[in-house]
């Protein structure tokens, strides 16, 4: 199976993760991402505990397969992590999407399946779809008070 088929299959699997498309009761943070060009409208909700650990994360709204798959990958990566760890993943994701320098093997591992979104970085019309949820997480991290390293 070639890389493009694996990419397409994985995107479809993640985009079908309906259990993540739900409201969280009393979320600590909620940030809407909207892409009028594509029609994506996704709100990321996060609930943290007193130690800044992300207890739960989900989204409400709808979007294309790439945006919902990217959101599902993001949620899988941050659940159970601290806001500081979430910030590190956001920073790595945008470093990857900018394509200015390659991620190290260790950095790629930290992104899990989200590294597949690098494939989208070469499709300018779809980059906004892939990064929509990550922009929302970036705003949430900034609101949480996590500072630049």
Cut 0.75: pTM above it: yes
At residue 54, φ and ψ (nearest 5 deg) are: -80, 105
Considering the four listed CATH numbers 1.10.10.10, 3.90.1010.10, 3.90.226.10, 3.40.640.10, the one that applies to the domain covering 3-143 is 3.90.1010.10
What pairs with residue 94 in β-bridges? Answer: none
At residue 101, φ and ψ (nearest 5 deg) are: -145, 145
Asked if 44 contacts 71 with a C-beta cutoff of 8 angstroms, the reply is yes
Tens-digit pLDDT profile for the chain (149 aa)?
677 788 889 999 999 999 999 999 999 999 999 998 889 999 999 999 999 999 999 999 999 999 999 999 999 999 999 999 999 999 999 999 999 889 999 999 999 999 999 988 888 889 999 999 999 999 999 999 876 54
Q: Where would I find the H helices in the chain?
A: 3-15, 65-78, 83-98, 105-110, 124-144
Q: Where are the domains of the chain?
A: 3-143
């Amino acid at each position: 199976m070639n890389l493009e088929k694996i990419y397409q299959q994985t995107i479809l699997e993640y985009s079908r993760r309906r259990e993540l498309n739900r409201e969280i009761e009393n979320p600590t943070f909620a940030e809407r991402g909207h892409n009028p060009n594509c029609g994506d409208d996704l709100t990321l909700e996060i609930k943290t505990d007193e130690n800044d650990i992300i207890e739960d994360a989900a989204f409400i709204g709808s979007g294309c397969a790439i945006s919902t798959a990217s959101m599902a990958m993001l949620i899988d990566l941050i659940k159970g992590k601290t806001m500081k760890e979430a910030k590190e993943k956001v920073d790595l994701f945008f470093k990857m999407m900018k394509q200015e320098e390659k991620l190290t093997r260790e950095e790629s591992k930290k992104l899990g399946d989200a590294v597949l979104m690098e494939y989208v970085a070469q499709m300018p019309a779809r980059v906004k779809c892939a990064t929509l949820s990550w922009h929302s997480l970036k705003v949430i991290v900034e609101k949480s008070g996590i500072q630049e390293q």
